[in-house]
Structure 1
Amino acid sequence: MQLLIIDPDQGIQEYYKNTLESHFSGIQVDFASNCSEAERNLQSNDYDLLITESELDRPFFAFLDGVVRIGMPVIVVSRTDSERLAVESIRLGAIDFISKKNLKLGIFTNILARALLDGERWKKIREFSVSMPPYPEVRKHTDIIVGSMQKEKEEKDRLEAAQKLLGGLKNLKEGHAYNILFLYATVKFTEPTFSRMDDWQLQQVLTRWKRILGRIPESYGGQVWIEKKDSLVAAFDGGDTLSALLASMEMNARLYLLSGELPIDRAGLSIALAAGQTVYTSDMGNLVSEALNFSAHLAYREGSYNGIFIPGEIHERLNARSKKYFFREGEAFEGRNIYRFERIA
């Protein structure tokens, strides 16, 4: 038996080699660190199976599609356990999928043995599948899904890189008071949306959206302190108004794009900023902060479906250029003047 494994990680290559040679007698294992090296090996050898990492030096799905089309059974191994990555890999023709964190649970050798035993059957299924290509519309939707996944990955990588360069709240001590600027964001749906999606569907959507939106404040030096069913709360240093404002604008724009991917009315994102003295505790449910309470009230108030809302004292901190994007509302809220930034589609 001949196997080709694509993975740039030298450490995992050693694990593969030791594991496979101890469980399969007479097995020959070759390694490639990138796609070009793998292609050269595939051209000069007749492999029984390919095992590949999902994070390669080329777009993964395009590479996987090309390998599957030449009749090579493929097991996809990923650093993440993304459900969508697993589904799309199988749909493109991978014979199996496993997360790297599950490699050492004892089932990897069983997955490999099954793939080797099922290789010929898989090839016949693939030959039949190739003889019945999908409708063009199926490919169109697949391309949209894959493109969305790639954009999400690129954004995650960018935000992680940015976070390493930025500071943020550090060394906060239990019971001490700090000047904290809160960003309170809550997702809002129209009534027709509630009639089209049940509670479970809405919760799945909200969970994914909050995961994506929560990365944005962190990339600007903030920290997500609280998550609720339809909301999240990020904290910034009390004087870092610009970072909180930029994070708010990026979150607002991001949700606009995310909600456009679903067959529902576009969701709104009501974001309120407020700053003030806060007694810090690691038990976020017991934070003592008038600023946190005010930001929650402002975000949830009736009529705040979509937009960024700030009280007068935060508006005064903005430079002249930033102030031009906010408009004073006609009525005060809880005794404070409110300024509103609303995205116009």
Structure 2
Amino acid sequence: MFFHSLSTIVLQKNLQFIGICQIHIASVNFKGIFAILQLLLTNGADINAKDKYDQTPLILACENDNLEYARVLLSEGCKPDVITPSGNSAMKIACKNANYWFSSHCHKNISDSMIVPAVHIAKCLLGKISSLSLEATCLPAAVQFSHHDIVKDLLECGMSVNQPDDNGRTALGCACMVESVEPDIVELLLRFGADVNRGGSWGKQKPLKFAFAHNSLEKIKLLLSYGAQITSEEMTELVSMNLSRSILENPEVINFYSKDLRSWRFLLAAGFTPTFHGAPGTVNDLLMKLRQMQKCSSYNQIVPWIKSLLFPLRSLKSWCRISIRRHLKFSINDNIEKLEIPHKLKEYLLFSEVT
């Protein structure tokens, strides 16, 4: 009876469609609202009508995480790419809500039934128009919590793998910056075309540097296999950081084969070398730490092998391996596996020398 009365009032008073959207959003538990929606549509209501803030019904549905309503609007052909004067769109709002949920609730063991509607709304929007994937993203936040299935779903729906979020983070940058993110997430992003040398909006934020900071050998291996690069100056910065974190903190117990130095050795084997002729600030910082190291009581035990890390003398065999890798397509490891060469030679060429 109540539903019939409300339907009659809607038609008699000729209420604007946008007003009914607000009623629906405020009354999400009212079961008859979809019937009212169909009634309005069959009587010529404008599905893209705007309120005084230029918000469409779809934008309001996204603001309130109303997945079912958003699905109905999209299935009825509403415009998904309307942008308000304030710069908001359905996708931006859905991603903003999804990012908030990821930062507040998400963890990698969460069940699909607990996933916030905003994530599903974003996937619905991506399915309607691919260009929307360039304007907003919730992928970095999803990656941060290592939820493989959500990340894969968003990528398969068309969300841009390289779009930075509002904090300037890329998905691959987050995957390498957060130590708890599994390497399979890194591989998934790389297979979907992630820029291997872009970790954020700032040019110096490189995934390889993030992985090095956590001594994440598996991630480093994947990044190198997809062509990750750093300059000699950047290698010098990493070496300086490694000196502080490992050798200067534990001079009595550290040695060439210590776990803390594996990332350093890995990058040396890949052909990267620190320089003493680069930016003065970086070089001076490294030289200062080397002078500090000379004051350690164990310096005489350190100096024989530390020189090989600072001034590596590579063999002809090592240079050949570096050259062969640089001439292979990505993923380098995958293409090495396909080469018709002896197994031992294949093992030598793979990015696995330290692991």
How does the TM-score come out when normalised to structure 2?
0.30
Bigger relative contact order, structure 1 or 2, given CA contacts below 8 A and separation 6+? 1
Greater fraction strand: 1
**Structure with greater Cα Rg:** 2
Greater fraction helix: 2
